[in-house]
Amino acid sequence: VQLVEAGGGLVQAGGSLRLSCQFSGGTFTSYSLGWFRRPPGKEREFVSGINWRDGKDHYISSVRDRFTISRDNNKNMVYLQMNDLRPEDTAVYYCAAGAVVVNTERHWTYWGQGTQVTVST
């Protein structure tokens, strides 16, 4: 399985970005998909995930109501729509695939290379 993220960039606070992740090399519908991020100088953290079985989505509290995860099973794509971005959202964002949505890194099997998101004041 390969995961390739795109869509990062520099945006002003209050702006929006949509990250995308192209999945290949496996059966897309058999995997839960997630987004993690690594802020500068900090550890990587779970941001959002979507279950393969029921499509239920999960978010950390700091992004709920601002970020939306979605998946397109026809295109093997997962997206993270990020609205009302804040400087504290600045991080490298990673796409991940695994069996279930959990907030711990070690339970996710495949990872993308990451895409930088920078939010300026």
pLDDT digits (tens, 9 = 90+) for 60-87: 999 999 999 999 999 999 999 999 999 9
Q: By the 8 A CB rule, do 21 and 79 touch?
A: yes
Report the run of H or E that residue 36 belongs to, with start and end: strand 32-38
- State phi, psi for 87 to the nearest 5 degrees: -55, -35
Q: By the 8 A CB rule, do 52 and 29 touch?
A: yes
Q: What's the average model confidence in pLDDT over 103-115?
A: 96
Quote the pLDDT of residue 71: 95
Q: What's the average model confidence in pLDDT over 2-9?
A: 98
Quote the pLDDT of residue 49: 97
Quote the pLDDT of residue 53: 87
48 forms beta bridges with 35, 59
Quote the pLDDT of residue 75: 97
pLDDT tens, residue by residue, 13-62: 999 999 999 999 999 999 999 999 999 999 999 999 999 988 899 999 99
Question: Residue 48: which residues within 8 A CB-CB, separation 6 or more?
Answer: 34, 35, 57, 58, 59, 60, 63, 67, 69, 80
Q: Which of 16, 13, 19 is nearest to 116 (CA)?
A: 19
Please count the other Cβ atoms lying within 10 Å of the Cβ belonging to residue 48.
24
